[in-house]
Chain A
């Protein structure tokens, strides 16, 4: 058990809908990272939050957004869903001291299926 929690485990929805994925980092970790794992794209970095502030953006679509709350949990919002958004979405947390490299621990993931 990594100490990172994600809910829900599975999500099945229809095209055009909106969903919210939730993540709670390990105790003491200030950074939350979101990654998408699809069959044809591998693991792709989406976005990072550090202590409530957006810190870096990767290959995140404009239909997707995220935030980190004062209690450090994070939510990833996916809207106007398309079939191609079906994937495994991971949250990871890390300490990110002084802008250096970070060791990231992953949650169990949320499997999103868009029908």
Chain B
């Protein structure tokens, strides 16, 4: 069974600064995707970024980038130039095909607060 662990229940950062959220996972699968989802106070689940396990290059989406360490099973999210609108709960999630049929397994979440 797959597990996803986020060890930081809460983080805070000043506006315009950089923050990194941590995530570790455990799986025996070889073909999988990793994601970061953002859940702002509106409770909408918004896809932030995706990393495909077979790709060595770290994914980047504007101010969001990941540090994917496959051997260490680590998948951290770096937010650069933090904005007030980045305040949200962030979930790390794992998805493999095969016997898990593509269901998402989520971490516990990290509450990020961006201060002005």
Task: Please list the residues of chain A having a beta carbon within 8 angstroms of any beta carbon in chain B.
Answer: 2, 31, 33, 35, 42-43, 45, 48, 55-56, 58, 88, 90, 92, 94, 96, 98-106, 108-109, 111
Task: Tell me the dominant secondary structure on chain A's binding face.
Answer: strand
B68-109 vs A: 1/0 string, CB under 8 Å?
000000000000000000000001000111101111111011
Residue of A nearest to B106 (CB): A43
A-B contact pairs, 23 of them (CB 8 A): A33-B103, A33-B104, A42-B106, A42-B108, A43-B91, A43-B104, A43-B106, A45-B104, A48-B101, A48-B103, A56-B103, A92-B104, A94-B102, A99-B98, A102-B95, A102-B97, A102-B102, A103-B35, A104-B47, A104-B102, A105-B47, A106-B44, A106-B47
Question: A76–B95 Cα gap in the complex (Å)?
Answer: 22
Task: Please list the residues of chain B having a beta carbon within 8 angstroms of any beta carbon in chain A.
Answer: 31-33, 35, 37, 43-47, 50, 52, 91, 95-98, 100-106, 108-109
Question: A87–B52 Cα gap in the complex (Å)?
Answer: 31
Taking a contact as CB atoms under 8 Å apart, the answer to whether B47 and A103 are in contact is yes
B37: shortest Cβ distance to chain A, in Å?
A: 8
Taking a contact as CB atoms under 8 Å apart, the answer to whether A103 and B101 are in contact is no
